[in-house]
Amino acid sequence: MRRWLAVALLLAVALAACAEESSDTTTGGSDGGSDELLGQALFEEPAVGGLPGCVTCHSLSPGTDLTGPSLASIGVVAASRVPGETAEEYLRESIVDPDAFVLDGWDAGTMNGWADVLSEEQIESLVQFMLEQ
């Protein structure tokens, strides 16, 4: 029982640290792994800067559309969305200017531009996370 309690306490501390980092304006490092982990934590926040977070409107499950389209396999799909743009460029633009490219069947003006809410480091972390989806 004590071992289970120790593991639960350690997990709670680790999750609390991730939550604190996701609301910070730094990525905590320049290696892709930490950026991706911070991007995941930020993606999973239900609210960011008083606005609905990514996970509130976007699923990572194939075929599960919410208020916005599913982002399953977005890291691969993004490379083919806009001719001449890399997946990274497309994802970044979709975060800061969501109406620059609107998928068929979806309405423009639904998603807020996050450029005023997120720091450049947070945007980069989200892009790195989504590239791996």
Identify the CA nearest to 81 among candidates 54, 111, 56, 101. Answer: 101
Residue by residue, pLDDT tens for the chain (133 residues) are: 333 333 333 333 333 333 444 444 333 444 447 889 999 999 999 999 989 999 999 999 999 999 999 999 999 999 999 999 999 999 999 999 999 999 999 999 999 879 999 999 999 999 999 999 9
List the beta strands (DSSP E) in 2-120. Answer: 47-48, 51-52
Tokens matching residue 114: 């996050």
What is the average pLDDT score of the chain? 81
Q: How far apart are CA 27 and CA 100, in angstroms?
A: 26
Task: Tell me the pTM.
Answer: 0.73
For each of the domains in the chain, give its residue range(s) and CATH number, in order of start.
Answer: 2-131 (1.10.760.10)
Q: Could you tell me what percentage of the chain is helix, strand and coil, using 3-state DSSP and rounding each to the nearest 5?
A: 55, 5, 40
SS3 assignment, position 17? helix
Q: For 65-77, how does the pLDDT look when each residue is reduced to its tens digit (9 = 90+)?
A: 999 999 999 999 9
